[in-house]
Chains A and B, each alone.
Chain A
Amino acid sequence: MWGWGKHPVVEAELLSAQARADVVAAVAAGPLTPRGLGRSYGDSSLGDRVLDLTRLDSFVAFDEATGAVTVEAGVSLSEVLRVLLPRGWFLPVTPGTRYVTVGGAIASDIHGKNHHKDGTFTDHVSSFELLVASGEVLTVSRTSHPDLFAATCGGMGLTGVVLEATFTMRPVGSGDVVETVVKAPDLDAALEAFAARADATYSVAWVDLLASGARLGRSLVMTGEHADDGPLTTDGSEPRATVPLDMPSVLLNPLSVRAFNHLYYARVRQPQLTHRVGHQPFFYPLDTVAEWNRLYGRRGFLQYQLAIPFGDGPALVREILRVVAAAGLASPLAVLKVFGPGNSHLLSFPVEGYTLALDLQATPRAFEVADRLDRLVLAAGGRLYLAKDARMSEETFRASYPRIEEFEAVRRRYGADGVFVSTQSRRLGLA
């Protein structure tokens, strides 16, 4: 069994919950790892005993007046969108794939292109039902169990099993997005474009990792707003193609990536382009191809996502791009974004500043480079995203998540130690 990055691969006993009673029984029977659609990249949904929750897939309630929706933890964001977009509601926060569960979205405290405006997914969650180690089901909110709320949002499934959750959708007039693409010839231009367009609801930049010298950090900065009118449907957004098998890893080499990046950048002809696109290509371009992770070959890949405070940010981003380019670690997928203020959840990833995400083919060289990057990130007061991590050391983790001791205290208080575990939690030295 593996995560989305296909590294690492572990032997696991896989249990499937058909109903709440199955979850209760599974927790009573021994240590386990909750799992949704398995889209975390590394080892956070892996363990010796893994409980698949995707069959807890019922809606519980929807309030047409406020947009508050309650669903079971295994419902995917794709399903929420499919059911509620036709009625004029969009997800409050969405990551770059629709194929994550609501339980997973809470566990990873996911963010999207609107983080600078709207925070993380759990900032829009009002309460959830959590099965804790004692077998009790607690209704957890900011007021009823503030400690458990702060620990579970971003807590990687290590405090209990979320059974259902209530969050508030965003009213929209259309499923379409009015997108503006700005060509930024170097990193300074990209950061300026972010600053100039700070009011945009959504913003993100694709970075050409292979551009070097004066063109280091060459980017396409994309911003978007929901269109006021237009189609309200998710029809036609199902994957159109599937990668049928693990591709030979030589396909992704510096030459092919350079060619792709060049074409991708040149595709936009004018310095700035504004057009209307569907929500599918704007938010989920990669969902168009099912199992795209196979493009990285059997060895799999690491996704390295860091967040650093504004402080030395630009210099550090430049340094990281230089290290990756110099190492010849080809990856067409590199994404830069500005985060707004972080929230009070104990292991939540975003910190106000810059975030950079890179795919690296899981070669021995990539692990060495990642270790080097860790030191740079730590020195800048930054951290790595647990939902993508497959390799950071316990020391790096403890040094970069300042509220880890509070998190451990909450886990101890609710008996979660040794009950809700994962390959990742063991690697990171959590009880």
Chain B
Amino acid sequence: MTTVAVLGATSGIAHATLRQWAARGDDLRLVARDAERLARVEGDLTARGAGAVVPLLHDLGTVEAVEAAVDALFADGPVDVVLVAFGTMPSQEDADASAAVAASLLTVNGTLTALAAHLVALRLGEQASGGRLAVIGSVAGDRGRQSNYLYGAAKAMVATAVAGLQHRCADTSVDVTLVKPGPTDTPMTAHLRGGRPALAKVETVAGDIVKAVDERRPVVYTPRRWAVIMTIVRLLPRRVFERTKL
């Protein structure tokens, strides 16, 4: 029986991915900050066939909270798979209006996410069986764009941290996967809908995450077309790039 732990379990992508693990009958340890939403996710996953589900309440907004949450995840015995999926996405306008919002965006999506990945990888390395870690990055981290460069900068930090962890864990039984979803239809992106018909279905993203973890892939773009799109975006000459609305 596999034990899966998720930081940020009530996020749209995490919940959809957890449904697929629940369908396999996996044991689940879930960290989130909102008790009512966590209870609903717990009920959903239990009814869908999950094994033992352990809900853990932590608001992952500080270094101490991240440390405590990682401790709690490993308190009840070994964990086979960890997904780091917490984050926030205030609009660029909110970040423009408040330095505090901008700083929190950078901290939660960058510093604290990279820290969580680092702490979890160390714990997995201490387990005799090793383990697998998947971290949610973003296509936004591949090149800074005017519309969301703060979020992108935070996710670029995560990407670099994951690359380093992969290097560090290369000869161990710990595997680390960086997931780079394109814009996905979740509550986090609800404000984008309307003008953005091409949002990916969250079930597609979830399926790709499960598969990437199963196959121990280092990096996965989801949906797959984003690997091509971002290669082009990265290669665009600066003069051309700066004339786009991206």
Contact = CB atoms under 8 A, between A and B. Distances in A.
A70 B193 CA distance: 30
Interface of A: 16, 18-19, 58-62, 69-71, 83, 87
Query: 10 closest pairs, A vs B, by CB?
Result: A59-B47, A58-B44, A62-B47, A18-B187, A59-B44, A60-B43, A83-B48, A61-B47, A59-B48, A58-B40
Contacts of A18: 187, 190
B193 A16 contact: yes
Contacts of A58: 40-41, 43-44
Q: Point out which of B46, B48, B193 has the most chain A C-beta atoms below 10 A from its C-beta.
A: B48
Interface string B193-231: 100000000000000000000000000000000000000
Contacts of A60: 40, 43-44, 47
B115 to A, nearest CB: 29
B41 A83 contact: no
Given A16-B190, A18-B187, A83 B44 contact: no
Contacts of B193: 16
Interface string B37-79: 1001101101111000000000000000000000000000000
B23 interface: yes
Nearest to A62: B47
Q: Point out which of A18, A58, A60, A71 has the most chain B C-beta atoms below 10 A from its C-beta.
A: A58
B28 to A, nearest CB: 14
A1 to B, nearest CB: 14
Q: Point out which of B44, B47, B48, B190 has the most chain A C-beta atoms below 10 A from its C-beta.
A: B47
A83 B43 contact: no
A69 B44 CA distance: 11
Contact of B49 (A16, A19, A83): A83
29 contacts: A16-B190, A16-B193, A18-B187, A18-B190, A19-B37, A19-B187, A58-B40, A58-B41, A58-B43, A58-B44, A59-B43, A59-B44, A59-B47, A59-B48, A60-B40, A60-B43, A60-B47, A61-B46, A61-B47, A62-B46, A62-B47, A62-B48, A70-B47, A71-B47, A83-B23, A83-B47, A83-B48, A83-B49, A87-B49
A69 B187 CA distance: 26
Q: Point out which of B41, B49, B190, B193 has the most chain A C-beta atoms below 10 A from its C-beta.
A: B49
A25 to B, nearest CB: 13
A69 B48 CA distance: 10
Contacts of A61: 43, 46-47
